[in-house]
Chains A and B, each alone.
Chain A
Amino acid sequence: MHSDLSFDNDASRHFVPLIVAVMVYLATLALAGSMSIGGAVDQWRDAVRGSMTVQLPGRPGGQTSPEAVANIKAITDALLATPGVASAAPLPDSDIQALLEPWLGDADLPADLPVPILIDVTLDDGVSLDPKGLAQRLAVIVSGVQVNDSGASLERLVRLARSVQWVAGIIVALVGAAATAIIIFAARAGMSAHRKTIELLHLIGAHDSYIARQFQFRLLVLSLIGGVLGLVFGAVTLLVLTLLSSQVQASLVPRLSLTAPQWAILAMLPILGTAVATVTARMTVSRSLRQSL
């Protein structure tokens, strides 16, 4: 587009793309983080839906000790007699050992270590049991029984995840606000740098829109360049993080794997950023032109 204003030498040429790139980069990461946490929450929900864990105090000698076998049998029977319980089975020692491995290493557990016994309970579809009531009933049979309500601890985890998502949302909002302020600043600085030319254009009969259009187009180009750069760097960062996170085995760490629609949402960021920048520039310039004669 032809421009009557000479933008080649003004500062906005370098700093607007840079700032917009940083903003889009941060927004990309925050949004991607928030979306993968959302995905992880859904996965956790699926994983724990309709299940509970009953924990018996460990006995020296492990699950094979006569006392343990009797306890397991008594509790399992009681559980299976409970309406709504579909199945109840102790986790084999090897699974428990695997669970403890991150803390205790992969050496064989000493035989006399009182490793707790875990009984995995599956509920019928749509059933939920009151974990406290169940624990009280089972404690009569074997003292020291605990019922792990994975639902409750999941809810705590979900709350944590949601607050992380909120923080990410706030970051995106702050980034947007900062970018808008910078665009306003750039538009104002541009106007004072071109004050004389703007006056000339007015005096030979230009409407405000003729002048505003040139600033608007200028900032559109600059912020689009910045936005695309920010997205490219953001995408590269995300790919690296995805690669790294796929090597982590912990099931609670949200996997950074975005779906195609989620990538599409991220790709909209530079476009959104450019649209906001363009509208902001136009409004800023029109507003300040209105104060001239």
Chain B
Amino acid sequence: MVRFQNVGMRYGLGPEILHDISFQLAPGSFHFLTGASGAGKTTLLRLMYLAHRPSRGLISLFGRDTTTMKRRELPALRRRIGVVFQDFRLIDHLTALDNVALPLRIAGAKKEAIGAHVSELLSWVGLKDHIGARPPTLSDGEKQRVAIARAVIGRPSLLLADEPTGSVDHEQGLRILHLFEELNKIGTTVVIATHDRDLIARFGRPVLRLVGGELSVHRPPRVVAPSSALAQQAGGL
């Protein structure tokens, strides 16, 4: 699904932020990505969602080498990737509905097909009453949920979330993670960047840890599943 081989990354002429990163994510896997602030989590995700080309090394996605790919082939690949940006990146003059519908519209979906589907998802993330609201009128937590809805609306094969629980309270963070688990159950490969150790411990998933520009993989023993009450909550999310 995702394969990095000896990837190095620097911005412009700056210092190398990632050195010799090599790892592989199996289809349907669920990983946390952690590391101190400034360790390069966002940079690593940006490489995965093709916002940057690596300074060196090979990156393949969905079994295809992205470094030799032509520009016009990238959109098809990007449409299979859902991204929750750390800074949300919602479009301020569009309603929540239109923001979430954007990936579908870009992919050329029919207008009628979009509307119902999008409002259903927005109600599902608890924004039923904010469908027509524009981002500047929403709280950070609400924006984050719009951003999450936009990332998952196209049923991506790969979901990359950059600190998706950074702006919501603990309770809501759990609900969001349960949503991601649901998507993971239906086959989506998930990578979540976070420095919330509590969350990581709670979900007992393999962890990619960035330290000093190097990546290590940790597979903690799966802790006892979180309370079934939480699982039920996720169902109602």
Contact = CB atoms under 8 A, between A and B. Distances in A.
Nearest to B87: A196
B74 A204 contact: no
Contacts of A199: 51
Nearest to A9: B93
Contacts of A210: 106
B49 interface: yes
A4 B83 contact: no
Nearest to B89: A200
A8 B78 contact: no
12 contacts: A4-B94, A8-B93, A200-B91, A203-B49, A204-B78, A204-B79, A204-B103, A204-B150, A205-B106, A206-B106, A290-B71, A293-B53
A59 interface: no
A197 interface: yes
Interface of B: 49-53, 71-72, 74-76, 78-79, 83, 89, 91-94, 98, 102-103, 105-107, 150
Interface residues of A, number: 18
B52 A293 contact: yes
Main secondary structure of the interface of A (DSSP, over half): loop
Interface of A: 2, 4, 6, 8, 196-197, 199-207, 210, 290, 293
Contacts of B76: 205
Contact of A6 (B49, B93, B103): B93
Pick the most buried of B78, B103, B106: most chain A CB atoms within 10 A of its CB: B106
B78 A202 contact: yes
Contact of B102 (A6, A204, A290, A293): A204
A250 B188 CA distance: 86
Contact of B75 (A2, A4, A200, A205): A205
A204 B83 contact: yes
A18 to B, nearest CB: 24
